[in-house]
A = this chain, B = another copy of it.
């Protein structure tokens, strides 16, 4: 296992709407909890919620306070353990800056998208690349109808779709779980 960390970022802007326009989606409590638990399961170092909307940043911090040092964490400590890894940031750049500060090296960005049109790296290759990584990696997931092209363009690895050619409407919560399991799970 590499000494360099793996991170997760869930991007709420810039993402696409159904027609391909660039929008900002709302943070959902569900995505905070589900992805935090999945990130904890696969031992990721942090899970960044990326939203430029200050009111939503404040909402998430309030929610996290309920678990980190608040009454929720006393009642369900394993939930607090997951949520202690969550950080809200305004941009993907801010997430990358935080990783740089933590690890002393700028991270590579890996993206994934259900839609095609990009050269992709198959999971078996990506798993080997990740195991041998020589710096931190941020796995970047989109909300809405997927990451804006500008985000995908900055990635060094673009993961293959989970189900190429099939029904392409997995919840991001399910996609994240499958992707992390394929990259890090014990089972073949």
Contact = CB atoms under 8 A, between A and B. Distances in A.
Interface stretch (A55-63, A88-96, A97-105, A180-188): A180-188
Interface stretch (A4-12, A19-27, A37-45): A37-45
A167 B81 contact: yes
A119 interface: no
Interface residues of A, number: 37
Interface stretch (A64-72, A147-155, A171-179): A171-179
A30 interface: yes
A41 B163 contact: yes
Interface string A87-128: 000000000000000000000000000000000001110000
Contact of A34 (B42, B174, B186): B174
A81 B167 CA distance: 10
Secondary structure of the A side of the interface? helix
A164 B41 CA distance: 11
Given A163-B186, A181-B178, A187-B124, A173 B170 contact: no
B173 A78 contact: no
A82 B175 CA distance: 16
A72 to B, nearest CB: 14
A113 B173 CA distance: 19
A176 B174 CA distance: 8
A133 interface: no
16 contacts: A30-B30, A34-B171, A37-B171, A38-B174, A40-B167, A41-B174, A43-B166, A81-B167, A122-B187, A124-B187, A162-B185, A163-B185, A173-B173, A178-B181, A182-B187, A188-B188
